């Protein structure tokens, strides 16, 4: 009986340790984002709400340090649409579990060295309740984000938009 209890407690300890390590791997750090500081040129591909067609628009970013290590300031502009775009922040929580108010679902270092961060939150898209997933791929010379939407009551994910940037 004593051996069974020790074995049971050991298995619980291993399970809890594994879960804690996994949770820590899914957290992001300021170092994950710091590489983004600089100037970027690229393309936005977005899905039109009316007809579902995809459109491409040139896009530029200027990213600088924010008020602390957990924040970056972003100035987004569209050269072909000068009235569009504007400033926004990229912010992570102190414990790294949330990025721009969305839950961090995963953080993975890819074979090419890029860090991939996936976040999800409940929201609305096209005036419908949705789960919104944002995938970020951050590298020294390339930066990618993709927004996918899953409407309530469905299992399919719809690509809403995608930004692809190269450092200049």
Would you state the structure tokens that stand for residue 86, as one six-digit string? 């504007």
How far, in Å, CA of 113 to CA of 57, rounded?
28
Is pLDDT of 12 > 80?
no
The per-residue pLDDT for range 73-94, each reduced to its tens digit, is: 999 999 999 999 999 999 999 9
The per-residue pLDDT for range 109-139, each reduced to its tens digit, is: 999 999 999 999 999 999 999 999 999 999 9
Is pLDDT of 29 > 90?
yes
Q: Mean pLDDT score of the chain, rounded to an integer?
A: 89
- The counts of H helices and E strands in the chain are 2, 10
Q: What is the pLDDT of residue 4?
A: 53
How far, in Å, CA of 124 to CA of 41, rounded?
29
In the predicted model, what is the mean pLDDT of residues 37-59?
Answer: 96
In order of 60, 74, 82, 165, the CA distances from 140 in angstroms are 16, 17, 28, 11
Is pLDDT of 11 > 60?
no
- CA proximity to 36, closest of 123, 99, 119, 129: 99
In the predicted model, what is the mean pLDDT of residues 9-14?
Answer: 44
To the question of pTM greater than 0.95 for the whole model, the response is: no
In order of 63, 70, 126, 153, 157, the CA distances from 132 in angstroms are 24, 22, 12, 14, 9
How far, in Å, CA of 37 to CA of 19, rounded?
33
| Termini Cα distance of the chain | 67
Q: What is the pLDDT of residue 1?
A: 58
Is pLDDT of 20 > 80?
no
The pLDDT-based confidence of 7 (bands split at 50, 70, 90) is very low
Q: Between residues 165 and 20, which one has the greater pLDDT?
A: 165
**48: DSSP letter:** -
Q: What is the pLDDT of residue 23?
A: 44
Is pLDDT of 167 > 90?
yes
For a pLDDT cut of 70, what percent of the chain falls above it? 85
Q: DSSP per residue over 50-107, as a string?
A: TT--EEEEEEEEEEEE-SSTTEEEEEEE-TT-TTSEEEEEEEB-TTSSEETTEEEEEE
């Amino acid at each position: 009986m004593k051996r069974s209890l020790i074995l049971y407690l050991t298995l619980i300890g291993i399970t809890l340790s594994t879960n804690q390590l996994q949770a820590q791997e899914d957290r992001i750090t300021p170092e994950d984002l710091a590489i983004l500081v600089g100037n970027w040129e690229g393309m936005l591909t977005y899905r039109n709400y009316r007809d579902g067609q995809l459109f491409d628009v040139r896009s530029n970013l200027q990213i600088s340090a924010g008020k602390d290590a957990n924040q970056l300031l972003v100035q987004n502009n569209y050269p072909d649409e000068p009235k569009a775009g504007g400033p926004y922040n990229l912010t992570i929580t102190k414990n790294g579990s949330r990025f721009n108010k969305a839950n961090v679902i995963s953080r993975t270092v890819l074979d090419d060295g890029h860090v991939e961060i996936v976040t999800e939150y409940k929201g609305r898209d096209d005036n419908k309740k949705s789960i919104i997933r944002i995938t970020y791929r951050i590298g020294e010379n390339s930066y990618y984000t993709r927004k996918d939407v899953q409407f309530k009551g469905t299992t399919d994910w719809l690509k809403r938009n995608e930004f692809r940037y190269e450092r200049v």
